[in-house]
Chains A and B, each alone.
Chain A
């Protein structure tokens, strides 16, 4: 099985961490998923949760040991993925990459979510 990257893109407060919380629940992870904005990366078993909000570019993602996280069973969720797209795309032959965009809609609690498999 290929490892998977879930790249999340969307404005502040759109629900990227909330999405990850739900995903973790579905994966059977019991830990509370909290925002990784300041710590940059947290690992919950096979789920790696990365936040690029405070990163200046893909170099910092690589510094985190990103490549090592991409083993066969792991899922790597990346918030603010558009900031490190160059580095993510390097792995599109080896890794399943789903790009998810979350946007605000008119109604207060509504969101528009689109997704695309961008791996080869």
Chain B
């Protein structure tokens, strides 16, 4: 079954055509119109889904006929979700094709899926707007075990980078600078100390870092970057380790699927690798960076599984769900 998938939950206007877990095409506006704007795409233009969506859909289709239409219905920004849903509805009705509403987080979870993965497994979704550990009992059946109480991990990295004067998006810039720094040079507090394993919290660390950065003018920027990034990851990994070893005992988790933009960070990957080998869990990532960050291919893949379970949506009733939890129907 060929599926046209549309994703407009936050910044990216994206469309893709998928068949099962195979990606036939995947298009994002930020990539495609980059040269048209002659440089960096202004965020306002980039987020103008209404203006970009038809172009992206046509580019993904490239004349292909599809059997179903999939669209992200949540979680995300209400105004942005609406644009994708409106187009998906319109095409489903015009072409007389079934419509499949998909949870954005489910897309991220399934991005790292391979045929070797054994269920139940665990998933870690880490991005600018999400920090979640999710138990995956089977495809379509999830339970959120931990999430952020305040700032998400990618947001924390971005804001830390901004404090050091690095450009947006800050995560990759911070990673680059941190390579040259000493992660033990300055002291920062470990978030959720003594309450670890239930949730993530990055706002206290952010505040502490702001105070540190502004405490003196002769601090070394690379050392600051290294210390901040190290503490952000330490909190993440300690929490993942606690959750995986407690629940893992029962579940015998053998796989951890990692998705979201922060999964592109090489330092984090090497640390997750160490953790994985210590607790006997294989850590798996999406095949490439395009599939870590927001994209429509992951929505198509998730929709493919929903279609095989016969889960379709009525075009008259489908609606945006801006705070839809992946473990709620």
Contacts and interface: CB of A to CB of B under 8 A. Distances in A.
Interface stretch (B73-81, B134-142, B283-291): B73-81
Interface string B201-243: 0010011111100000000000000000000000000000000
Interface SS of A by simple majority: loop
B162 A12 contact: yes
B181 interface: no
B43 A56 contact: yes
A114 interface: no
Contacts, number: 88
Interface residues of B, number: 35
A30 interface: no
B152 interface: yes
A42 B322 contact: yes
B47 interface: yes
B150 A35 contact: yes
A44 to B, nearest CB: 8
Given A38-B155, A41-B78, A17 B203 contact: yes
A21 B128 CA distance: 20
B148 A54 contact: no
16 contacts: A17-B150, A17-B151, A18-B203, A34-B152, A38-B10, A39-B75, A39-B76, A39-B77, A40-B10, A42-B322, A43-B78, A55-B44, A57-B44, A59-B44, A60-B44, A63-B44
B210 A13 contact: yes
Interface string A5-37: 000000111110110010000000001101101
A17 B201 CA distance: 12
A39 B129 CA distance: 6
A63 B185 CA distance: 44
B149 interface: yes
Nearest to A66: B79
A25 to B, nearest CB: 13
B43 A35 contact: no
A38 B323 CA distance: 13
A64 interface: yes
Given A17-B203, A43-B78, A56-B43, A34 B10 contact: no
Contact of B151 (A14, A37, A41): A37
A59 B48 CA distance: 11
